[in-house]
Structure 1
Amino acid sequence: MNREAVNYVRALKPSGMPSGESVLEEGREIGRKIKMKRSLFLEKNGYDTYEDYVRENIRKGKITWEIFMGLATLEEQKEAIKAAYEFNQRTGINLDTIEIIASQLMALPREYREKAAKPTSFVMNETEDWVNMQTAPIELIFADHHLASPNALETTINAVKAGSPRVGLVSQFFWGQPGFTDHRQHMIDFVKSIGIVSSKWDDHISVDSYMDDGFPGYAMDCVTYVGYALLEHYIIHDLCNTRYQTGLGGLLKEQKSRAAIPVAIHQLLSTEEQRAISYMNGSTVTQWEHDITANYGSSGEEIMFDCLVERKYKMGMALNTIAITERIAVPTAQALFDICSVGARAFEGAKYWEDMIDWSSMDELVDYLKTEGRLFFENTMNVLDEAGINIKDPLEIFMTLKKMNPNRFERTFHHRMNENGTLNPKYPTVLGRQTVDLREEIVADVKKRGVEENALKGKKVAVVSGDGHTYGLAVVDAVLSAMGADVINGGVDVDPPTALDLADEEGIKYIGISIHNGQGLDYARQILELAERRNRKYHIFMGGKLNAILPGDSVPTDVTDKINELGITATEDLYEQICMIRDTE
């Protein structure tokens, strides 16, 4: 056993926490008093539960179609739900499920929202905002910024009242939220909210997760996805007696491993009583940001293969199609309908491919991931136990993991980690492979443009993500390190005060910020205002998806120029960022 890992985890052990079981029972008591609304979708179609609908699709060899949707205002969102139903009526496509993506502000108790940066998407304030969002017979699911957030009790109660068949997302429990630092209360309310969902077992309400938003989003090895799913399932299902499902896919593009991971999780965890896989998300990691109609090509082939996998392995895995504009802006409702129609038409031809496919190599990979995933999980439990963590207490486990730097999760618990702290995965994730490939590509380009190797030697740089996205952060870290910089990676969901605190603690002037959820302009203004109060000189650079919904608009606008005007180096070109770091003192 890796003693360094054990010692690291031992240092994270929380103290003064209540019993996880007692907190769960408090949540169950709350849940038993909640009356759930029966959805318009179930009423119209005569299903007892949403699970009955999914299982009927499995029996008939059909696909359950989903989209994520989060528009600028609540009224626009409700109108778009009506439009989705009209789209179904017009086309015959069964887009019967929408996951609601409300503003990230929903994760915060109301008293913390005023000072937080303003992302895109709407805010819900009253119970009626959840319950009355059903403007058409389409099943609505409340997941992002609900169950695992500091505001978990309010959002979970309202999601259950609205009849959401899944409530999530477990994997977001370690995300930081602007200005909120009471992590003890956060974890207590999170586990209490799991108890609320636990009380609805007979109604077939599940806790939902999404691997790519959690620790696997930092992973270099596909095995980590499977091992981590086993860990979440153990905590939620075995310890909390709560139904558990997970989605995945946004950071997975290579079709064989992308498909094998959910199949492995399904075969390890699904039972007649409870399926393990909720949905496969469309990937965005290879989308073009130019000539975006070309993204229909990459999405189409991906969706076709996902359809074939679902028909073969019968997981009940919904397909959540991602708009071709995802990399550059929050999608419009029409963009979401368009990509769903591409998927549905691709599915029409799936049956003609089935007898031409030899699945043997896929099955071999599934078996490998199952074996290695179990070993990962067993090693995780052994490390936690050896470190003195009570592995029978869900609250203590979550609090320990909450305190962990997400960049260290895989190397702490992976059973194949070398003594020198390196990992050579047999099946690397796209993040693992692309981080290396893109680093080499960018470094070669930077050198070709006249920047010397080790140009940043002696420079110390802090890099953070202002939201939950990891990919851009990993690339920036890798490139700056390759150019000689001493990089301190502060992780995801870092708000402006925390970014400056990190820089001050490490004696750093250079701060890089990756932003993808529409809050770039607000973030820039806040960090500059805070920096001025500290009377210190910082060199700040930003990249990612730099757009925002400006006053009077309902769709995002690029704000790169506005951020540059504030005095921050805002650019997607790492060459420009490297030159700024090299040429300033």
Structure 2
Amino acid sequence: MIYGDTISFGSDFNKNRAIVAEYLLWDIMSQLECPTGNAVLPLPVTEALRIPSPDEIVEAQCFGRQIEETARRLWPHIDFTSAYDFSAKVYSAGKSVFDNALDGLKEAKVDICDPVQILYVLKMLGPSVFEEMFGADKADEDSPRERQPVVATDVYTLSQGIINQYRHIFDNPRSRSILKGRKLLIASTDVHAHAIMIIHELLSRAGTKIINLGAEINPYQIARAASSGSVEAILISTHNGMALEYAKRLKAELDRQKVDVPVVMGGILNQKVGDAALPIDVTANLKELGFHPSPKLEGRFRKLLEQDMMSLNRK
């Protein structure tokens, strides 16, 4: 299942459309070859920048239908031998993870016949801890989260490229002297976990201690973890046009639980406000709440962290 490639998206809509065409073509042909029942997802080209408009969603669906017609013509002429070899390798590793997880959960007295209980425990563990406990990959200090993937996918390669691109921002004497040993909490407001994976890796290289809550974390969970974990700053990643509403709820929870630490918020910092047809930028609103908006990793993100950590040093 390919299921959309927003990680490769940028501000060039024509390039985004080409990316959609590529992954849709392979996803549809894969479903024709070996139906799994997953829904094919034609993404609007604006997805990486803001919540798409209804017209953009309709346009994406129509574009997807055109790609389907092409995929059906090409499918009989494609050799899937390499894909089946890849599938066998992933299946073997996946079966190992499955067996490891069930054995581990059973040993921890989790009722493995109760799907609700299993889902709850897995949700509490989060993907990072789950991988460390049950993964089929090998330990490797040079890989993200010090885990070497069973198969280095194109997304993994892209992630490595981003880490290498921004490594100099954190992996230098000045940043390490300020950030080393500091305890930071990171979390994502929604299902998108790629950004916090990158940030986790980069900050770890600066010697920070990371509490990674993972994806789909609500404000109460963040405030509770921050108050109980004695963190010195909170880093929030958001994608889906809910930045201001989420920030207001987080501010209220932090105040309620008497947590007073810097909050840096990055990602797609916009939201649909009132009767506006499209989401608008809300960075000014976030500043009014006392948060530090930082949409990108370049420059300001590091300066914000260093400024906050240095101010803590002076207290």
TM-score (norm 1): 0.47
SS in 1 for 2:167: helix
Quick check: 1:338 aligned with 2:62? Answer: no
User: 2-side partners of 1:356 and 1:404: how far apart?
Assistant: 44
Instruction: Give 2:163's match in structure 1, choosing from 439, 442, 453.
Output: 439
Cα shift at 1:315:
4.2
Residues 1:311 and 1:392: Cα distance change in structure 2 (over 3 Å): closer
Is the 8 Å Cα contact of residues 227 and 259 (structure 2) preserved in structure 1?
Answer: no
- Kindly indicate whether the alpha-carbon contact (under 8 Å) linking 2:175 and 2:306 is maintained by their aligned counterparts in 1: no
**With CA pairs under 8 Å and 6+ residues apart, which has the higher RCO, 1 or 2?**
1
Whole-Å separation in 2 of the counterparts to 1:397 and 1:536: 32
Tell me what 2:301 maps to: 577
Correspondence for 1:382: 103
1:45-56 matches, cutoff 5 A: none
Query: Once the 2 structures are TM-superposed, how far is the Cα of residue 324 of structure 1 from its aligned partner?
Result: 0.5
Measure, in 1, the Cα distance between the counterparts of 2:52 and 2:185.
Answer: 31
What's the counterpart of residue 284 of structure 1? Answer: 6
Output the TM-score relative to the length of structure 2. 0.84
SS of aligned partner of 2:125: coil
Confirm or deny: 8 A CA contact 2:170 2:205 kept in the other structure.
Answer: no
CA offsets per residue over residues 449-486 of structure 1, 9 Å max, x none? Answer: x9845252232211112223211221222222222322
Change (3 A) 1:491 1:373: closer
Give the root-mean-square deviation of aligned CA atoms.
Answer: 2.9
Between the aligned partners of 2:303 and 2:179, the Cα distance in structure 1 is: 9
CA distance in 1, matches of 2:68, 2:189: 37
1:516 to 239, 244, 250: 239
Q: Cα deviation per residue 1:325-368 (whole Å; 9 max; x = unaligned)? A: 11122212211221222222233333553455322111111122
3-state secondary structure, aligned to 1:541: strand
Q: Give 1:511 deviation, angstroms.
A: 0.8
Query: What is the alpha-carbon distance in structure 1 between the residues aligned to residue 44 and residue 240 of structure 2?
Result: 15
2:228 matches 1:500: no
* Distance change (3 Å), C-alpha of 1:374 and 1:527: closer
1:458 aligns with 2:176: no
Contact 2:137 2:150 in 1 (8 A): no
Residue 312 of structure 1 pairs with residue 29 of structure 2 = no
Q: CA deviation at 1:323?
A: 0.6
Equivalent residues in 2 for 1:35-434 (5 A)?
249=2, 281-288=3-10, 290-354=11-75, 356-418=77-139, 422-429=146-153, 432-434=156-158
Structure 2 residue corresponding to 1:471, chosen from 194, 202, 212 = 194
Query: Do 1:496 and 1:526's aligned partners in 2 also have CA atoms closer than 8 Å?
Result: yes
Asked if the contact 1:443/1:483 (under 8 Å) is kept, the reply is no
The structure-2 alpha-carbon separation of the partners of 1:387 and 1:451, relative to structure 1 and needing over 3 Å to count, comes to closer
**Runs (5+) with no aligned partner, structure 2:** none
8 Å CA contact 1:456, 1:485 repeated in 2: yes
Map residues 1-20 of structure 1 onto 2, 5 A cutoff.
none
Question: Identity percentage over the alignment?
Answer: 24
- Provide the C-alpha distance between the structure 1 equivalents of 2:259 and 2:36, rounded to a whole number of angstroms: 55
After superposition, the Cα gap between the structure-2 partners of 1:366 and 1:527, relative to the gap in structure 1 and judged at 3 Å, is closer
Query: Which of 290, 293, 312 matches 1:567?
Result: 290
**Partners of 1:393 and 1:535 in 2: how far apart?**
37
Aligned residues between the structures: 304
